[in-house]
Structure 1
Amino acid sequence: MKQTLFIFFFLNISHLGFSQNNNKLKIIDNYLKKVIKSYEIPGLAVGVIQNDSIIFQKYYGKENLDSDGKVNPNSLFRVYSTTKLKTNIAVFQLIESGKLSLDDKIAKYITQLPKDWEEVRIENLLSHSSGIPDFARYDSIPADTSANQVLQWLSKEKMEFLTGNQYSYNQTNYMLLAMIIEKISGERFEEYILKNQFSDAKNKVVFSSNSLEKIPNRIQKYVFNDSLKQFQKLLHIGGLRSHAANGLAISLPDFLQWSLYLTKNHFLKPNTKKMMWTPFNYANKQDLFAHGWEITKTGKVTSYGFSIL
């Protein structure tokens, strides 16, 4: 599968050992041009952060295949499941302020849950170890179904596995986290995220899991149809229930600023980040995942992030 538009964020490249800054930037630019040509990518926005500073920021190609508009600093990219990282930050901000705990059972904040769900805790939602049915696997649930209606629907289904036993990627977990954030804060999930993480964003930051919604400057996502040998627009509609999992659209400058704020402890204290990035203790002793963050090791460098398009 090909996708027309990507955003790459290299949060730590210090181990690459470039000798001169200009040579470094040229190497990055040449590499990206080769990638664009090899994968036939019509549009790309790339930022590189090294040692807490933005050292590279560049835009390539077109915003969409229907016009000649160029990708630029105002272009809004849907970051899909990287949205979950913003939800993670919100959860740990509430933990840091003493309003929430990883050990809290979700039944403390959401009423009328099925009996099998009552032992699920906040840490199980973040680590995808809840065992709760994933609404994304049920095509029969309409996109405009409210979160409470989704819960009623899923309550008729069996648990997928024993809570805490294993990792299983699940969109329902993040719908529940959004509901809990709203319950504690008294604000809409989207408003809470924008106020606490993007209050000084240079460009508009928006939430919408509707691929058909017309939003100024938002980049169109395409998928490549191998049979037809052509790109086709993604037409998926996720609804409000999906905002905490995949709804964010943001410009590259604002994403880079968010990354720097996270690195420099603007959002969370160092000990809180350490807690967030601590691996969850799965009962099967096989899976490796932190509290909402994937753990990746490259040589001696350990990275934390997440993105499933």
Structure 2
Amino acid sequence: MFRQLDDFILEGMKRTHLASVAIALVSKGEVVYQRGYGSRDLETGLPATPRTLYGIGSITKSFTAIALLQLQEKGLLSLEDPVSRYLDFHLKPKGKDILIRHFLSHTSGIPALAYAEALIGHAQHSGDPYLPIGSPQDLIAFMADAEKWAVAEPGERWLYLNEGYALLGEIIAKVSGQAYEDYVRDHILRPLGMERSTFSQADLNRDDDVATPYLLDREGRHLPGRYLFGRLLADGGLISCAEDMSRYLLFLLSRGKNPDGILSPASIEAMEAPRIPTAPEAIDPHDWRKGTPATYYGLGLSSTTFFGRTLVGHGGSVGVATAQLAYIPSEGVGAVVLANGSGYPTAHMAQYALALLLGEDPFAWEPLRVERDLLRWEGIYETYRGTTRVEVRRAGDRLELIFRDRYGEERVPLLPYELKGEEARFFTLSGGRRLWVEFREGPEGPEFIYERYLYRWSGRLT
């Protein structure tokens, strides 16, 4: 089983140029598999290990939720309190107060303001604008006009808002009397034995098992990136390793039962409870995603249906590192996947692993099946006697036709309509009308019809 998982992960890394991945799998109260893949640093060639430190991005939000629920259990605050009780923050979307639970569940009514995206992009010199945000007060000032951008009353609609979680970290600091990162260290990380996990750049500088964060340029070259120490905290600043995160998984799966009892089972269940849909179930019979279940957000965790069970978790990305936490409470199984780069969804690696732990065919899970069905059509195609040539590449949940010559390139998006194994039907727009593009397995391999041309597979992509 684990050899099959290794092959899947290594193939995904190869295809998307991921430098390294670290995973841990737990089942029935113990770690059943953990290992690293690839090089944590390409210059030194040092291998990734279960102890290698990576940025976990927005998985940090679940730690923020735990901290707030701890404070609620101690009677120091309520999730029903307005944010303005603790901060000089007075935005009222559609005239309504934002409560702590609204920020926790991403239901404030304010759409993403992209402050984190801008900070991350600017730090990697990607051309994003510079934002002078170095404190919660700066962030509140940045958000001053966001009320005018509100699209719903608080509680009505899911709109992912990093800014809200950043402010929740300041509430934790105000109520506890400790800096957010110190509170999480003392009340969550240390009690769970997560000794390597940190928010501190100084800690990373002293450690010799740290994954170098990487970006890929347009030629596929790895460029060292950087983390945003101090600027992303409660919304995505934790650095951890697969070994520590396996302890976190076991804590969640045990419903908080550990010697220190850091959170009640009721509070963990409140985090997991579906509060607001983030994506509806695909039920249109003509929707290629049909069979993909709805997903919901709770408090710092999301959930969906996975082989008839409830799958809980959260993803994370800071551009130069990606991560996925996923577990199934009813079965006592979980997975964490960490990577020092982006390009391949760590969620798919975690879902593949969990399917194997359940004894299910991973490709019976719709997102993995769709990925496989799209990848089967990738390649270089030519018309009769090589008169014209085109590349077919997967781009997320679609394909692209890429026509190149010495003067430039043209990209044509192909949106899936029907994916049926050896046949697939896509569409694009041409001249204001829908144009069908049909792929099939021909007598000499894959082929497709585009406009008046028949293209046949002539080789793999490089």
Question: Scaled by the length of structure 2, what TM-score is found?
Answer: 0.55
- Picking from 45, 56, 74, the partner of 1:97 is 74
* Residue 247 of structure 2: aligned partner: 257
Q: Which residue of 2 aligns with 1:274?
A: 269
Rg larger for:
2
Name whichever of 105-114 and 297-306 sits farther off: 105-114
Alpha carbons 2:24, 2:50 under 8 Å: kept: no
Q: Which residue of 2 aligns with 1:295?
A: 303
> In the TM superposition, what is the alpha-carbon distance from 1:253 to its structure 2 partner?
0.9
CA contact (8 A) 2:196 2:244 kept: no
Aligned residues: 280
Structure 1 CA distance, aligned partners of 2:21 and 2:229? 26
Higher relative contact order, structure no. (Cα contacts within 8 Å, ≥ 6 residues apart): 1
- Is residue 2:103 matched to residue 1:152? no
Q: Could you say which residue in structure 1 is the equivalent of 2:178?
A: 187
- Quick one: distance in 1 between partners of 2:280 and 2:12? 38
- Can you list the C-alpha shifts for 1:83-141, whole angstroms capped at 9, x where unaligned? 11111111111222222222111111113524558600011101111134633466656
Q: Do the aligned partners of 1:288 and 1:295 also contact (CA within 8 Å) in 2?
A: yes
Residue 257 and residue 308 in structure 1: after superposition, are their counterparts in 2 closer, same or farther (change >3 A)? Answer: closer
User: What's the CA shift for 1:215?
Assistant: 6.2
Equivalent residues in 2 for 1:36-51 (5 A)?
Answer: 36-51=13-28
Per-residue Cα deviation, 1:239-291 (whole angstroms, up to 9, x for no partner): 53421111111121111112112222143222112222222257x99983212
Structure 1 runs not aligned, ≥5 long: 1-23
1:51-77 Cα shifts (integer Å, max 9, x gaps): 221100112221122212121243111
C-alpha contact (below 8 Å) 1:175/1:241 kept by paired residues: no
CA distance in 2, matches of 1:86, 1:298: 24
1:218 matched to which residue of 2?
A: 210
Question: What displacement does 1:80 show?
Answer: 0.9
Report the structure, 1 or 2, having the larger strand content.
2
Q: Mark the runs of 5 or more structure 2 residues left unpaired by the alignment.
A: 119-127, 282-294, 318-462
* Structure 1 segment 1-309 matched on structure 2, within 5 A: 24-116=1-93, 119-132=97-110, 134=113, 135-136=115-116, 142=131, 144-157=133-146, 158-162=148-152, 163-199=154-190, 201=193, 203-207=195-199, 214=205, 216=207, 217-225=209-217, 227-235=218-226, 238=228, 240-264=230-254, 265=256, 266=258, 267-281=262-276, 288-309=296-317
* Stretch deviating more after TM superposition (35-44 or 64-73): 35-44
Question: Contact 1:106 / 1:118 at 8 angstroms: preserved in 2?
Answer: no
Kindly report the root-mean-square deviation, in angstroms, between the aligned alpha carbons of the 2 structures: 2.8
Partners of 1:78 and 1:248 within 8 A in 2: yes
| TM-score w.r.t. length of structure 1 | 0.80
Deviates more, 1:188-197 or 1:134-143: 134-143
% identity of equivalent residues: 24
Which amino acid letter does the alignment assign opposite residue 26 of structure 2?
I
- The question of whether the paired residues in 2 share the 8 Å contact of 1:262 and 1:268 is answered with no
Answer whether contact 1:143 1:238 (CA < 8 A) is retained.
no
- Judged with a 3 Å threshold, the aligned counterparts in structure 2 of structure 1 residues 78 and 285 are, in CA distance, closer, same or farther, namely closer
Residues 196-205 or 159-168, more deviating:
196-205
For 1:39 and 1:111, the matched residues in 2 are separated by: 44
Structure 1 pair 36–145 and aligned structure 2 pair: CA distance change class (3 A)? closer
In structure 2, give the amino acid aligned to 1:229: G
Matched position secondary structure for 1:304: strand
